[in-house]
Amino acid sequence: MSHVRVFDKNDGEQLFEKALCTEYVQQNRVEQDQYINPIVNLKDEVVFFVQGYYQALNLTNYSIERIEIATLSDGDQALSTLAIDSNGNIYFGTERGDVVAIDPSGVILC
């Protein structure tokens, strides 16, 4: 199961932990290890993809916004390191070889 954890940069103390994709565990699905390459977006959120979902971790209150990405819902994975442009759009490559762009609100641009 994938987890997101936040640690204090000064003393290494764990500040936050949350399990991700619990619906896959509840359905007894066995998933391969996740290769998550997060970035910090223009809203100072840590953004990453897990099992077809765009997820943004707010670093102030540790809430996680989760948006399903239709192009990834059929099992395709975002395996590349994310890139961000000056407008806050996020770009990534998929396992299928597609390049996907998502605006800051999670809407797919291409």
3-class DSSP string for 5-74: EEECCCCCCEEEEEEECHHHHHCCCCCCCCCCCCEECCCCEEEEEECCEEEEEECCCCCEEEEECHHHCC
The residues with which 105 forms a beta bridge, in sequence order, are none
Give 38's pLDDT tier (boundaries 50, 70, 90): confident
Give 25's pLDDT tier (boundaries 50, 70, 90): very low
Give 23's pLDDT tier (boundaries 50, 70, 90): low
Q: What is the mean pLDDT of residues 51-69?
A: 82
Q: Which has the closest alpha carbon to 3: 108, 14, 70, 101?
A: 14
Q: How many CA atoms lie within 13 A of 70 on its CB side?
A: 4
pTM strictly above 0.85: no
CB 46 within 8 A of CB 38: yes
Residue 84 φ/ψ, nearest 5 degrees: -130, 140
